[in-house]
């Protein structure tokens, strides 16, 4: 499993108050108390239109009820961006538009997708989950049977091991952050604890791993250590309160909190207990990291701490000088985010951001910090620290540890440059 990288913070880095950054800025200036006038030139207050002229929606009855709600027609831009293989459309991804979202939960319609061979049209009546291999009593469950079992919820992110991999490219890509880092989404998954099902089957003492297989035509099979399977893994049936969406594994999927996407097998049909891992394509050719010494990192399941500033970010240029709330997300497969530091001077000095509660293990955690932009060129960075003490690496230290030719597991700090004109672009520092 991945070797942890630690960065020791110099005392001056820890204490420095970066130029224009101040956690109390909004409070001090009275914004929280509602006195916008006290802000002076920070915000332009626009003249109100004539309030006597009622708009049509105040004069006519509104539309009637709907069986299943849809977003406002004015929010049509908030979509998953699809990058599918033109020769095999079922293989590819669609990205969560992180730049359009707030809060910790990803709406089901915007959960990212990664399929190797499309979304299978499974008939839930015919679908079965089989547990066999090194067990005392092989079992087969119908969906109806599983729906009667005791349930738990896991609030957690699912992140593809290939998320953010454009960061490995020699030149910084310019795109909306969702279409660069949006192979991560966070949901409340509800289902049956896997430990319960395995105990019912009776675990043979020789079992150390299990092989999980999906019912899609890709025939995805991956190995999972039994210790994790017995810890917090669930066979999920619900996603944010409703039944799992077809693209996210309907009618059932594995949810493996904090571990890379590929082991969260969708359309789950079989769990086979074995003594040794399978060495399938997805744990040898894929999702492994060739290191500079010629050896490969394998079974690096746990997603390491990561953060990025969602606002400002490329696509959100700053229209005028004044107060801005720097906002972002941080997450770690190792547990809770304990701190996120923000820099506006390319990493010279750092200020701790405010974390939005509740801060939950393996969940997206929002951070924010007010910043006064006075028109100077700035480089914005965020750095996450998790409860294990792990510190998100700089791009340089990640490349030193892993070499220049990485493809998976990119979690380095991300930097945005704000030009004197307020244009925001992706840069490497
Ligand atoms: N059966 C099956 N399970 C699968 C996949 C797949 O193609 N088939 N893709 C995997 C990969 S690589 C990832 S990142 C996650 C993506 O989950 P999502 O599509 O619900 O976001 O599912 C994993 N489980
Ligand atoms: Mo993935």
Give φ, ψ of 273 to 5 degrees. Answer: -80, 130
Distance CA 311, CA 305 (A): 19
424 burial (CB, 10 Å; 0-12 / 13-18 / 19+) is: buried
Return the residue whose CA atom lies nearest to atom 2 of ligand 1.
266
- Cβ atoms within 10 Å of 89's Cβ, excluding its own: 12
Q: What pLDDT does 246 receive?
A: 98
Atom of ligand 1 nearest to the CA of 117: 7
pLDDT along the chain (429 residues), means of 10: 37 44 59 38 60 89 97 97 93 98 98 97 98 98 98 98 97 97 98 98 98 95 98 98 98 98 98 96 92 92 98 97 98 98 98 98 98 97 98 97 94 98 98
Note the pLDDT of residue 1.
35
Q: Which domains, and CATH codes, for the chain? A: 13-23+303-427 (2.60.40.650), 128-297 (3.90.420.10)
pTM for the full model? Answer: 0.91
Which residues contact ligand 1 via a Cβ below 6 A? 111-116, 158, 160, 214, 216, 218, 220, 248-249, 261-262, 264-267
Contact residues for 386 (Cβ-Cβ < 8 A; gap 6+): 305, 332, 334, 335, 336, 337, 338
> Residue 161 Cα, ligand 2 centroid: separation in angstroms?
5
Task: Give the span between the Cα atoms of 21 and 378, in whole angstroms.
Answer: 12
- For residues 8 and 5, what is the distance between their CA atoms, to the nearest angstrom? 10
The rounded distance, in Å, linking the Cα atoms of 429 and 413 is 10
Give Cα separations from 112 to 62, 160, 181, 262, 379 (angstroms).
33, 9, 10, 13, 29
Atom of ligand 1 at shortest distance to CA of 267?
A: 1
Listed residue (331, 330, 271, 264) closest to 114, CA to CA:
264
Distance (Å, whole) CA 342 – CA 348: 10
Ligand 1 centroid–CA 317 distance in Å is 34
Give me ligand 1 centre to Cα 114, in Å.
Answer: 5
pLDDT of residue 17: 40
C-alpha distances in Å from residue 228, one per residue of 181, 254, 362, 393: 26, 12, 14, 26
């Amino acid at each position: 499993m991945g070797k942890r990288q630690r960065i020791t913070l110099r005392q001056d880095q820890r204490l420095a108050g970066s130029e224009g950054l101040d956690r109390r800025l909004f409070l001090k200036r009275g914004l929280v108390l509602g006195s916008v006038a006290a802000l002076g030139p920070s915000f332009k207050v626009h003249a109100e239109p004539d309030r006597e002229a009622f708009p049509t929606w105040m004069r006519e009855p509104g539309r009637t009820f709907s069986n299943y709600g849809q977003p406002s027609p004015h929010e049509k831009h908030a979509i998953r961006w699809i990058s599918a293989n033109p020769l095999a459309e079922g293989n590819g991804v669609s990205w969560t538009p992180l730049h359009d979202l707030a809060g910790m939960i990803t709406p089901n319609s915007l959960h990212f997708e990664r399929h190797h061979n499309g979304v299978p049209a499974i008939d839930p009546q015919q679908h079965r989950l089989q547990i066999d291999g090194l067990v005392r009593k092989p079992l087969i469950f119908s969906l109806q049977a599983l729906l009667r079992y005791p349930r738990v919820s896991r609030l957690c992110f699912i992140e593809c091991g290939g998320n953010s991999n454009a960061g490995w490219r020699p030149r910084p890509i310019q795109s909306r952050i969702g279409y660069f880092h949006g192979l991560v989404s966070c949901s409340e998954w509800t289902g049956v604890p896997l430990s319960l099902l395995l105990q019912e089957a009776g675990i043979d003492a020789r079992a150390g791993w299990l092989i999980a297989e999906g019912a899609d035509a890709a025939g995805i099979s991956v190995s999972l250590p039994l210790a994790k399977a017995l810890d917090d893994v669930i066979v999920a049936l619900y996603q944010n309160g409703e039944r799992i969406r077809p693209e996210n594994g309907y009618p059932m999927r594995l949810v493996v909190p904090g571990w890379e996407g590929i082991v969260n097998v969708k359309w789950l049909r079989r769990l086979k207990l074995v003594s040794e891992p399978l060495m399938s394509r997805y744990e040898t050719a894929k999702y492994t990291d060739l290191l500079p010494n010629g050896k490969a990192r394998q079974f690096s399941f746990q997603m390491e701490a990561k953060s990025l500033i969602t606002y400002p970010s490329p696509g959100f240029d700053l229209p005028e000088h004044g107060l801005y709330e720097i906002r972002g997300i941080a997450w770690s497969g190792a547990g809770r985010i304990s701190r996120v530091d923000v820099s506006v001077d390319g990493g010279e000095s750092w200020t701790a951001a405010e974390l939005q509660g509740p801060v939950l293990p393996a969940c997206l955690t929002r951070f924010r910090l007010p910043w006064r932009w006075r028109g100077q060129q700035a480089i914005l960075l965020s750095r996450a620290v998790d409860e294990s003490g792990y510190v998100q690496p700089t791009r340089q230290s990640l490349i030193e540890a892993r070499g220049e030719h990485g493809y998976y597991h990119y979690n380095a700090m991300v930097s945005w440059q704000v030009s004197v004109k307020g244009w925001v672009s992706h840069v490497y520092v």
